[in-house]
Structures are given as structure tokens and as C-alpha cells.
Structure 1
Amino acid sequence: MKPLVSATFLTLASGSIGAQAAEIGATFEKPCPFGDCSAGIAFTFLGETSIQTGFSEADVEFGGISGLDFDQATGRFVALSDDRAERGPARVYELDVDLSAQGLQGVSVRRHISLLDVGDIPFAPQSVDPEALRLGPEGFYWTSEGGGSSQLPPSVRVSFPDGKHLREFALPDGFAPTAEGSSGIHDNLAFESLTMLPSGDVLVALEAALQQDGPKPGLMLGSPARMVQFDVLSGKPKAQYVYMISPVPQAGVDGEKAMNGLSEMLALEDGRILTVERSFAEGAGNTIKIFMVDLSNATDVSHISSLARHEDLIVPARKTEVLDLNGIGLRPDNIEAMAIGRAGDGTEILLLAADNNFSARQKSQFFAFEIVQRLQ
């Protein structure tokens, strides 16, 4: 086992406990994902904390956390707000994580950095929809989800560490929304996640299928979401893969709204990827599952304009569930962000964060785990 953290594990099979909430130090293991024991992974629960909706930093409301990464230079986490420049500027927060032997004690907000548009001017309200964030060689790499109803194309942008605009990646054909809805992104289901691959390339994923590729996830229906691999230097797309989003795991009460989608992903050192599938059922709440993904044998579908109308064999990315937050007794909110970094005491952790939607009924929730991956 090559540890990404130093820890002593109490090893339990994932999902082997009952309804009792996970205790600090409990470990949940997936020993052989894909039947490959060299890919084994385990998660040790370190606790939960939250910041209540309504908290403000520098007179700007905190919330909407949809992207998360760790800054090695400062030893702090950075978090992207999905505020569409309505409650304040488009912004990234610096966070301190307080971890002790008793577990995760708190997350504190130090400051925010405003993200600027082309020409280094503030984004106009509703002109941007920040969703995913990673730190790279030039600064912040982040996505704007775009909007089908507003005809706002999704985008991948790079900003300097001070928030000033640097450049924008090229959008692949078929992703921009169309007025008639025959192609392009579904509304609010676009560039929700981004990660940096070990090669240095950037991988961006849709939350659900493009209009021309298939339906949104349903109770009996998965959805083929595209993952786009970009060359980090040129910003041009070089490959696309299919990630099959699972069907909605439970119905809404009395037939009310229920959905599922790919809300976050994070590349590991060996090139495999952790993804978060976040589902919500009205009256029942959220179901959060973490999967391990392998792109090694997936079909490059860059040349395929419509997955729904393509007849040749397409091999999607392999995926397997490695952790079910509800299944280990947690009550997750709207988890949309995930990163590996270090807490204030030096412990290396996997940190998950929830988007509170700036709603008084929700909270900015954080879960911390130690993570160990078996590498050969």
C-alpha cells in the first residue's frame, strides 16, 4: 500500500456497517476495483463540519462552493463559488482546515480573490457560472458551466493567481447551446468538473449528456456524459471519452423532482480518476457516491457528432463504486467539490465540500477522509 497519508487503519469492508453514522477513524476499503487489486483504495473518516448559510467575509456572502483544490505554496485549500456574480464578484476563497486527533474541527475563511473577465473587468451578473477549479502551472484553471436557456456557452478559463484573466480554451464543436435545443449542452448540466491529469493535460466533464447524445439520467436510465481532454499548453481539445452516469437511485416523494449527475472528479497519481455522482430526490435528499474511473481503454469519440445516432461500438470509461457516503451512515448535502491536500496539522486528507445554493435550508458542509491507494 502506498499511502497518500500516514495513518493506522481499522479496515472495514465498504458498506459493511448499518445505519449508525461513521465514527472518526472508521475505514472503508475497496480492495480490488475492476477486479484489479493494484488499484485498491481505502478511506478513513476524519469528521464533518459546516459553515452556516449567511456567513459573510469582507461583506460578501460565503457559499456556493462548487470547486476545490489545494495550494502547495500556501498550505491552504482554495474554493470556487458558483455565485453568478450576483451576490458579489466571481471569486475564489482561501480556506484553512482545522484537524486534530478528535477529527475535523472546522473550516475557516481567510479571504477571497476576485476572478476577472477579459480586459480585467468584473464579470457582469449572469455572464458567468463558475463550477470547477484546479490549480495549475499558470494559476487558476476553472470552468463556467454556461446555460442552455440563456444561450451562454460553457467555457474553460485560466486566470492568474491574482484573479486576472489569462486565456480561454477552445470549445469543441457541438457543445454550444442552440436555440431550438437540438444540440449542445442541457441547461445546468454542462462543465461541472475539471481535473489535471498526471500528463499535465486538463480533463473536463459534463454533468450529463449533450442534447444530441442522449437523455438526462432517469430512474431507469443512465446518461452518456462526455469527458474532454485538453492540451494544457494550446488549450485545444485532443480527445473525448464517454462517462456513463448511473440512473437516478431513488424517486422523489409523490413523484416530485429527482436527478443525478457527475458533479466532481479528481485524478490520482496513477492516472485513475475519482468521480462524485450527486443525486437529489425531492423530499428524500441527496445520495452521494464516489467512483473510481479508468480511461485506458475508452473510445475516443471526438469524431462522433451524436452518440445517440452512432451505430459502431463505443467503449465508455470503466467505473466502479468505491465509497457510498449515505451507505456509511453520513447525511451528505449537495457535494460538488473534492480535493486532496493537507490540514493545518500536516495530515494529508481528501476534502469534500457541498454547495449550499445560498439557501437557508442548506449549509456549506465539509467531510474529511484520509485516503490510501495501492500502487505498483
Structure 2
Amino acid sequence: MTAAAAPATATPTSAAAATGPGPTTAGGACSPAVRMLAFSDRLDKTTFDGRVVGNFSALATQRDGSVLALSDRSVLFTLDRSADRPLAAQPLADGAGAPLDSEALVVDRDRTRFVTSETEPSIRRFAPDGRVLGELPVPTELRVAPAGRATTNATFEGLALQPGGRTLVASMEGPLTGDDPGLVRFPTWTRPRPGAPFVPSAQYAFRPAPGLGVSDIAPTGDGRLLVLERSFTAGVGNTVRLVLTDPRGTADVRGVARLPADTSTMTTVPLADLGDCPTLGATARQPQRNPLLDNIEGMTVTGRGPHGTLQVLLISDDNENASQITRTYRAEVTLPRR
């Protein structure tokens, strides 16, 4: 059951959270394609209705402008339009009542939600009130070993619903055993019309930058996908990149048992290394080459501007760790022409 919002239920659990920075007022270019507009730490180390506000792995924008933020501890938060204030917190569970290792999120046209769990992995469909409505079939090779060839904690990290509502795309965080280690698969599910059941369809190969994994994906509205790539090195910090990829015209590899290094992959256009963004006055609690960075894991498109620009919201996962921050970021992305 969704918890009702109350004015005083969102509470900071530390003095730093109470006095931490809100949105910045000036942005700056990270690259010719990406401009960082603002960041906010207002959600960091707070609670709402007794639940930790953090561990965020995915975002989705609702039609009313509010934002859904998915915690990998099996809780779905509703945030206000500013993404600074929780309005509701809804626990999620599988059909047997067990919590999920929830990683990716999509809101369908009928307000139902598709949520991945990377344990099996799975994609479940939930009603707005949190009831499980069904589960999508997952191809055998994508399941975690020994059932399939996927690695634990390297499965369905991203999810996107393409324009028209007929194609659902997931992104694997890491490669399958037997595939070239530099390649990950983007499996898809299709349906003949919105509301009909999804069935497994094409799979596409994607090559992230060396050493990075795919953390999330978001539809651009024209068939392409924004891809969030991420890694962490102790003592150095996070590397976070935004790239653009296009599955259209790419070979379907679902029938290929082992992907070789020369597999045809989706075209990729680098957009920005977020380490090159202006700091905007941010501070970090652990070594970072740019103090603006943290463990950025979720992404959603919140709006569209002129000349092909996208308004993008990102969020970091603090893992309930004192050295990490729950931070939201607002960026403007200019898409190159196709």
C-alpha cells in the first residue's frame, strides 16, 4: 500500500543533511552536447515514513511531472517535481512476498510499472498500488548461472520503453559467460499493441567504454537510447559517461550463442564524461577527480526543449554509506542529428 504524504514525515538523519546544499543556480558545459544545470543533496541521509531515502538505482517520470525513484532495497518512492521531496514510499515484493533486488524501472502508458530484479534476473509488472500483475519471460541465456550464462549482480540494470509503447529494452550490466568480455547484450521484448503481453524479441550487442558497465538507459523519443556508463576505482572515485546508441539497423544476436569480438554492435556516439563538468560548488566525501561525481546509477528524461534538447534527471546511489551521497543532477542534452 502506498504511504500517504505528510508535511513533516521527511526527516534528515544528520545535521549535514539538514544544512546541505540545495539546487545550484548556475550551470556549465560538460561537453558540446551536455550542460550540467544543477545538483541537489537535499535527499541525502534522510528518512520518510521510517524508511531510508537512498540506495537509488533508477528513475522514471510520470505524466503529472512527479518522479518515481527506485531503491534497490525494494522500495519505490514518489518524489515531487523538483525531485527534492518524497511524497510516498511503496514497498515492492515478488509474488511470494519476498523483497526484490530492484534495479530498473519503466512506467507504462496505463500507469503500471515494470521493475527489474537482478537476482534471477526478472522483469515484473506492478499495479500502481504495488500488486504484482505478472512477469515477463526471460530468455534462458540471460538468467544467472547455473540456470543461464549471466553473472550475479551484472544483469538487468537498465530498462526503457520505446516510442509507441511496443518495445521494451533492457540493458545487461555485464557480459554473459562465453561472450566477448567487452560486449553486453540489450535484450528486447515486443507486443503488438500497448496493453498486450510482451514476448522476448531481438537482442543487440553494445560495447561500453573499457572498464565501464552499463548502469541505466533512457529513450530519447526517436528510437535511440541514452546510455549511462559507470565504474568505481578505490582512491580515485567514479567514472561516469553519457553516450547515445541506436539499435535500429543493428544485427539481432539473440540466436548467437557466443558473441565474438567482431560482433556487429549498435552505433555509439559519446556525449560527455561527467568528470569534465563544472563542479558547481559540490563537495565529495571520498576521493573523486571531480567532487560533483558520486555513484550515479539512475536516469530519466523529464522534458524536451527546442532543437532536439532533452532535460535529463540523474540520481546517485549512496549504498547507505557515510562516504557516499544521494545526489540528484539536472542536465541538458543536445542530441546529434541522425
> Is there any run of 5+ residues in structure 2 with no aligned partner, and where?
1-23, 280-291, 305-309
Could you state the TM-score of these two structures normalised by the residue count of structure 2? 0.80
Query: Is it true that 1:363 corresponds to 2:337 in the alignment?
Result: no
Aligned to 2:276, the other structure's residue is in SS state helix
**1:23 Cα offset (Å):** 8.1
Are 1:224 and 2:177 counterparts? no
| Aligned counterpart for 1:349 among listed residues 296, 300, 311 | 311
Q: Which runs of 5 or more residues in structure 1 are unaligned? A: 1-21, 31-41, 84-89, 99-105, 147-152, 216-222, 249-259
Distance 2:208 2:36 in 1: 26
Aligned to 2:84: 107
Change (3 A) 1:210 1:28: same
Deviation of 1:341 (Å)? 1.5
Residue 109 (structure 2) aligns with: 137
Q: Assess if the C-alpha contact under 8 Å between 1:145 and 1:188 holds in 2.
A: yes
Cα distance in 1 for partners of 2:122, 2:52 equals 25
Q: Which residue of 1 aligns with 2:28?
A: 26
Size of the alignment, in residue pairs? 293
2:172–2:186 CA contact under 8 A, matched in 1:
yes
- In structure 2, do the counterparts of structure 1 residues 280 and 172 end up closer, same or farther at CA, with 3 Å as the change threshold? same
Query: Which residue in the other structure is 2:175 paired with?
Result: 209
Q: Distance in 2 between matches of 1:214 and 1:314?
A: 9
In structure 1, which of residues 105, 110, 124 is the aligned counterpart of residue 98 of structure 2?
124
Q: Is the 8 A contact 2:43 2:53 kept in 1?
A: no
CA contact (8 A) 2:173 2:184 kept: yes
Partners of 1:286 and 1:178 lie apart in 2 by: 28
The Cα shift of 1:143 comes to 0.7
Quote the offset at 1:66 in angstroms. Answer: 0.6
In 1, the alpha carbon distance for the partners of 2:225 and 2:45 equals 34
Deviation at 1:304, TM superposition (A): 0.9
Q: For residues 262-291 of structure 1, what are the alpha-carbon distances to aligned partners after superposition, in whole Å with 9 as ceiling and x for unaligned? A: 001111121111101011111100011100
Q: Which TM-score applies when normalising by structure 1?
A: 0.72
327, 332, 345: which one pairs with 2:276?
Answer: 327
Alignment of 1:4-23 (within 5 A): none
Q: Which residue of 2 aligns with 1:220?
A: none
Distance 1:52 1:160 in 2: 26
Change (3 A) 1:295 1:276: same
**Cα pair 1:53 1:359 within 8 Å, conserved:** no
In 2: Cα distance, 1:281 partner to 1:207 partner: 17
Provide the identity percentage: 28
**Residue 125 of structure 2, aligned match among 158, 167, 170:** 158
Q: Give the aligned CA root-mean-square deviation in angstroms.
A: 2.5
Contact 1:53 1:360 in 2 (8 A): no
> What amino acid does structure 1 have at the position aligned with 2:55?
G
Kindly state the Cα deviation for residue 235 of structure 1 after the two structures are TM-superposed. Answer: 2.2
For residues 44 and 273 of structure 2, the distance between their equivalents in structure 1, rounded to whole angstroms, comes to 26
Q: 1:174 aligns to what SS in structure 2?
A: helix
Q: 1:52 to 1:373 in 2, by over 3 A?
A: closer
Summarize deviations over 1:306-361 as a string: whole Å, max 9, x none: 214xx9x6310111210111012342111111111269xxxx83101011111111
SS at match of 1:79: strand
1:134-164 deviations in whole A, cap 9, x for unaligned? 1112411111111xxxxxx201111011111
Change (3 A) 1:28 1:358: closer
Task: Identify which of structures 1 and 2 has the higher relative contact order when contacts are C-alpha pairs closer than 8 Å and 6+ apart.
Answer: 1
Alignment of 1:272-283 (within 5 A): 272-283=224-235
Q: Provide the residue aligned with 1:15 in structure 2.
A: none
SS in 2 for 1:299: coil
C-alpha distance in 2 between matches for 1:281 and 1:27? 25
- Aligned position for 2:152: 187
